Structure 1
Amino acid sequence: MNYLVAALYRFVHLKDYAAMRQPLYDFCSERGITGTLLLAEEGINGTIAGKPEAIREVLARLRSDERLALLEHKESWAAEQPFYRMKVKLKREIVTMGVPNIHAATMAGTYVDPQHWNALIEDPDTVVVDVRNDYEVAIGTFANAINPKTASFTEFPEWVRQQSQEGGVLDGKRKVAMFCTGGIRCEKSTAYLRSQGFDEVFHLQGGILKYLETVPAEQSLWQGQCFVFDERVSVGHGLEQGDFSFCRACRYPLSEQDRASPVYEDGVSCPHCHGKHTEAQMARFRERQKQVELARQRKQRHIGVRLTP
């Protein structure tokens, strides 16, 4: 494995976040790092990849800012560069919920480390909620976790409102445990629940990635694989790369069974998006896939691959 992948975030007040963009982009680009970093007044979030020494330099630079001294990050490895370019973007939120005045830096729930997570979610008094999007949950989650079936994180507050009503899964529940890929959505979702009057709110420290990295498979309550937002698509225990791939037309993660479907066409359609694109779109997808194959034959990467229509 040649490339170190670092998923990082920190909720902290960054009043000068716009001024941080260009120097951070230059620092990463000069070291051959690729990936995406998001900057907002509420903090920093992103995933980057590069040679190990280069990634260590970026992490050290970020932590040299006293506001980011406690920056969270998780590490994994990739045989090839999992990103095509480096981007540093300015955002209103580093993870978009769309609800004002949710201050995860000060309002987040109680951290639970991976070693104590099993005991919490096996407690019958605990409601366990997967706060990721539906397509992520589809390929793996914790045993008995509730899937809110959201298409985006902005739908989560409405789900909480509905499920807090009489008969909902949150109705009368005091103890709620939530988890996500790396921990960032957990922090914001627990902060939101606390703002809605929930007292005992917990989240998995370091997210699913830290759990899969540290908890032995024989002790694990995780089922399936974990979706990641890069070219690896999924990882399993020990953060070993999984066997899912992307549909280049709709970005849905595809299993071996999906790829065996008669409606699957590499780079063009899959069982999840078949029949949803126009003929013009499919013609563009086929031309794009042709260029990808030509680049592959030349043992080059097709940098211009788009992951969405």
Structure 2
Amino acid sequence: MENEKYQILLYYCYAAIEDPEAYREEHHLFCIENNIRGRIIVSSEGLNGTVSGLVEDCERYMAYVKSDARFEDTEFKIDTHHTHAFAKINVRAKEEIVHSGLRHINPREKTGKHLEPSAFKALKDQDDVVILDVRSDYEHKLGHFKNALRLDIENFRDFPDKVKELDHLRDKKVLTYCTGGIKCEKASAFLLDQGFKDVYQLHGGIIKYGLEAGGEDFEGKCYVFDNRVAIDVNQINPTVVSECYICGTKSDRMVNCANSECNIHVPICGSCGWEFEGACSDECKGHPEKRPYDGTGYYQKNSNGYNPYKGFYRKSDQAKPDPVRYESSDS
């Protein structure tokens, strides 16, 4: 659309990073100097991020990532938006780029066969196929593929313990999917590790399937980890599958409970939203920590004096007094 001057980029790349903390600092500085906002994880096993920015800033960011030989094959899922999808930039160094507890698995060495959206669409309804959602329960309750097997897990790190419940599917073709593809890299590899023979993954996840295959047979909305919270995927046969947490009517309107001590993230219809003043129950409605409700159910986190340069200090480069160089205050 003409007024959508921003882009939202979703990506990951499994690649060895010898000094994640040093690269985190470099990456952080590039983002703040190019007005990129979002959440990025840097690990010894690679990168994982969702960021937003003006189209030209995002193009510069993608070029920056791909200019590094370690990340040159990174694939970006690109969506348009009318503004930033994040309030700030947050780049962190962590043990894994998605928390799974499967540190022994390297998707560059072993993982399920990648299926492009068109191939996934052609294969998903065959009799010998099982479609497996590897996301958390709050995600797949909002939206999922028709006939998909959905696991009762609060976090992806719970996935390995649930695999024993899938033993009866060992003779099936198992098609895994998630939001952008990253969880499937290790989920499908772990299935292979546990003796499953025919394992696939939806390359690029739900997001790419919506962009390239129209999202057919994805029921409901897709939960995303930015300020949009939930997005439409299916342009062909859309449905609503989630229910209002309070009254049980069909609703895909995701909100946070107005009681900051509860803050549960659930679907609440517009009518119940106003009746309960953004709270999820009478108890939360009367709670002293209930926040004012403006009809959105979205509450910006307190930035606590957020400064994107926190952790760095300016130090003039004696050899090159201009421009300024940034160095870690901890070094």
TM-score normalized by structure 2? 0.77
Give the C-alpha shift of residue 285 in structure 1.
3.8
Task: Output the CA distance in 2 between the equivalents of 1:302 and 1:18.
Answer: 28
- Unmatched 5+ stretches in structure 2: 241-251, 305-331
Structure-2 residue corresponding to 1:254: 267
Matched, 1:76 2:79: yes
Task: Output the CA distance in 2 between the equivalents of 1:302 and 1:127.
Answer: 39
Matched, 1:118 2:137: no
Match of 1:40 among 40, 43, 52: 43
Structure-1 residue corresponding to 2:288: 283
Contact 1:6 1:75 in 2 (8 A): yes
Structure-2 residue corresponding to 1:231: 227
Match of 2:280 among 266, 270, 274: 270
Match of 2:197 among 199, 217, 220: 199
Task: Output the CA distance in 2 between the equivalents of 1:159 and 1:262.
Answer: 38
Q: Could you say which structure has the higher helix fraction?
A: 1
Going from structure 1 to structure 2, the CA distance change for 1:244 and 1:261 (only over 3 Å counts) comes to closer
Task: Output the CA distance in 2 between the equivalents of 1:264 and 1:148.
Answer: 31
Show CA shifts across 1:165-203 (max 9, x none): xxx4x3x33421100000000111011111112121100
Greater C-alpha radius of gyration: 2
Structure 2 counterpart of 1:131, one-letter code: V
Give the C-alpha shift of residue 262 in structure 1.
7.6
Structure 1 counterpart of 2:228, one-letter code: R
Task: Output the CA distance in 2 between the equivalents of 1:305 and 1:285.
Answer: 19
Contact 2:219 2:234 in 1 (8 A): no
Going from structure 1 to structure 2, the CA distance change for 1:144 and 1:206 (only over 3 Å counts) comes to same
Show CA shifts across 1:90-113 (max 9, x none): 010001111330112221110101
Match of 2:60 among 44, 57, 61: 57
Structure 2 counterpart of 1:246, one-letter code: V
Task: Output the CA distance in 1 between the equivalents of 2:276 and 2:196.
Answer: 45
Give the C-alpha shift of residue 50 in structure 1.
0.7
Going from structure 1 to structure 2, the CA distance change for 1:304 and 1:163 (only over 3 Å counts) comes to same
Task: Output the CA distance in 1 between the equivalents of 2:198 and 2:166.
Answer: 17
Give the C-alpha shift of residue 52 in structure 1.
0.8
Structure 1 counterpart of 2:255, one-letter code: F
Structure 1: 4+ residue segments shifted above 6 A: none
Structure-1 residue corresponding to 2:218: 222
Aligned pairs, how many? 280
Contact 1:141 1:224 in 2 (8 A): yes
Matched, 1:17 2:20: yes
Contact 1:33 1:54 in 2 (8 A): yes
Percent identity over the alignment is 30
Mean Cα displacement is larger for which, 230-239 or 49-58?
230-239
Bigger RCO of structures 1 and 2 (CA < 8 A, at least 6 apart): 1
- Unmatched 5+ stretches in structure 1: none
Going from structure 1 to structure 2, the CA distance change for 1:284 and 1:198 (only over 3 Å counts) comes to same
| Alignment root-mean-square deviation, CA | 2.7
Match of 1:244 among 240, 253, 272: 253
Give the C-alpha shift of residue 238 in structure 1.
7.2
